[in-house]
Amino acid sequence: MYPFSCTKAADTRAAIAAGQQGGRYLAGGTTLVDLMRETVERPGTLVDIGALPLRDITSTANGGLRIGALVRMADAAADPKVRNTYPVVAQALELSASAQLRNMATIGRSGGGRGPAVGTQRVQGRAAQAHG
């Protein structure tokens, strides 16, 4: 490992500001910590976004679902709204990675492989929005 600093984002506005200043978001850590351990990734500042209120799955007016960026893969797969409205999404999540990873990994980063997410705006709230 190497020296780095870590801050905890108090709200989404602070998280976005920190990201714009070069901070790297830490959600479930399943990818980032692993890559840091191998020194593939060497961020100078981590911004812990784990406490942000982004864990809701809500129905949208047009019959879709809005999934918060910090919803864990396992929680999304088990959610009745996801299972009923988009069973293929639930099934895909259940087949992803391993049970340990699904219990930690968040939707905000999921689906894009193991590199950094594109842009800082995803932290803002809703990572995935599916429309029926």
Q: Which stretch binds ligand FAD (CB under 6 A): 2-10, 58-66, 76-84, 101-109?
A: 101-109
Does 109 bind ligand FAD (CB under 6 A)? Our answer is: yes
Give me the residue label for tokens 């930690």.
104
Does 25 bind ligand FAD (CB under 6 A)? Our answer is: yes
Q: Which of 17, 50, 16, 11 is nearest to 33 (CA)?
A: 50
Per-residue b or e along 81-97, where b marks 16 or more CB atoms closer than 10 Å to that residue's CB: ebeebbeebbeebeeee
Does 27 bind ligand FAD (CB under 6 A)? Our answer is: yes
Which residues sit at the interface with ligand FAD, rule CB under 6 A?
Answer: 24-32, 34, 69, 96-97, 101, 104-106, 108-111, 114, 116-117, 122-123, 127
